[in-house]
Amino acid sequence: MATTTWILSPSPASFKGREMPIEKFRIRCSSVSLNTRSEPQPVTTFVKAFAPATVANLGPGFDFLGCAVDGLGDIVSVRVDPQVHPGEVHISDITGHAPNKLSKNPLWNCAGIAAIEVMKMLAIRSVGLSLSLQKGLPLGSGLGSSAASAAAAAVAVNEMFGKRLGVDELVLASLKSEEKVSGYHADNVAPSIMGGFVLIRSYEPLELIELKFPEEKELYFVLVSPEFEAPTKKMRAALPGEIGMAHHVWNCSQAGALVASVLQGDVVGLGKALSSDKIVEPRRAPLIPGMEAVKRAALEAGAFGCTISGAGPTAVAVIDDELTGHAIAKHMIHAFLHHGNLQASAKVLQLDRLGARRIHD
């Protein structure tokens, strides 16, 4: 089945993409410095962009598999602001989830960092930008909150200057943000920008492979989020420094099965692989009250598979029917309350195939 591959240089300072007409569409970055580009002028004075939530890891795919889900995400609005120093970004407003917990200093805000990186890549020196962030995703939810902010900002700034940058550079700009907040991992930012399922084949150089889930197949994600914050850095600290060969072989085989299931549109196989992680989930699940019981409840209620979404605490189950998904969600919510003493909310969503994009009021 067809896949699409992006190959990127490890350094965001020097790229220019060119497309190669082979079975896997590739963009290889040349050594031409982005800073040698002539400065583009804004094609509009205002842009609003949306970036979707993501489910990273997908069980056995720690740091190299992720997908985007439809209906949840962050919105970033960018406008040319003559009161902002040329070449700089000012964050004027943050609304939505926990706005008081987020810094308005663009050097310490996910959206601000990504916006600045895009401006550097485009060599923007003559205009200043004002940025507004609408947080549709809770912090520390396991749904790629920081990645969605970064992706939306990167896309918005790029749109403002005529879409000069490609997917490769937008991912790298967003990775700068992730690196500062939660570590250098692309399994949230890549699917948030690209949509669908994405495999990170390597980080040095960064190589991304888009996995096409058949459009005619039904796939629903049951996302159950408890009222509990699981900071990514804390959850990463719980992971083992070394693993045994048996677990390595097992997880590799399950990740391979998951990729095959995605390409074939096999939701049952996808769920089975999703539930199979023997390395990361066993370390993180005990840190989320009730998580192990929630997984059992999901499977007993008919889910094809269940695991932790990203670093948690959201639990994600997969199914091929929306009504069944809502029934599964009720059992998962009850398990969080009964076994973890946590209130939880649920959404049943489909795959977001578009990724981050400009939106209009």
Residues 6 or more apart whose Cβ sits within 8 Å of residue 343? 226, 227, 336, 337
Tokens encoding 312: 């948690």
pLDDT tens, position by position, 245-280: 999 999 999 999 999 999 999 999 999 999 999 999
Q: What is the CA radius of gyration of the chain?
A: 20
DSSP string, 73-133: EEEEEEEE-TTSPTT-EEEEEEEESSGGGS---GGGSHHHHHHHHHHHHHT--S--EEEEE
Virtual CA dihedral for 56, 249, 282, 195, nearest 10 degrees?
10
Asked if 299 contacts 275 with a C-beta cutoff of 8 angstroms, the reply is yes
DSSP string, 245-296: HHHHHHHHHHHHHHHHHHHHT-HHHHHHHHT--SSSHHHHGGGSTTHHHHHH
What's this model's pTM, rounded to 2 decimal places? 0.88
Listed in sequence order, the DSSP H helices in 186-264 are: 189-194, 232-237, 245-264
Helix (H) or strand (E) segment spanning residue 197: strand 197-203
Half-sphere exposure of 132 (CA within 13 A, CB side): 12
Burial (Cβ within 10 Å: 0-12, 13-18, ≥19) of residue 222: buried
**Which residue, chain included where needed, has tokens 């300072």?**
13
Asked if 39 contacts 239 with a C-beta cutoff of 8 angstroms, the reply is no
Contacts 24+ apart (CB under 8 A), 26-33: 27/166, 27/167, 27/168, 29/168
To the question of domain 3-211 being in CATH 3.40.50.720, the answer is: no
pLDDT in tens, the chain (361 residues): 444 444 444 433 333 333 333 233 333 333 334 455 689 999 999 999 999 999 999 999 999 999 999 999 999 999 999 999 999 999 999 999 887 889 999 999 999 999 999 999 999 999 999 999 999 998 888 999 999 999 999 999 999 999 999 999 999 999 998 888 777 889 999 999 999 999 999 988 889 999 999 999 999 999 999 999 777 778 888 888 899 999 999 999 999 999 999 999 999 999 999 999 999 999 999 999 999 999 999 999 999 999 999 999 999 999 999 999 999 999 999 999 999 999 999 999 999 999 999 999 7
Burial (Cβ within 10 Å: 0-12, 13-18, ≥19) of residue 81: middle
The architecture (CATH level 2) of 220-350 comes to 2-Layer Sandwich (3.30)
The domain segmentation of the chain, as residue ranges, is 3-211, 220-350
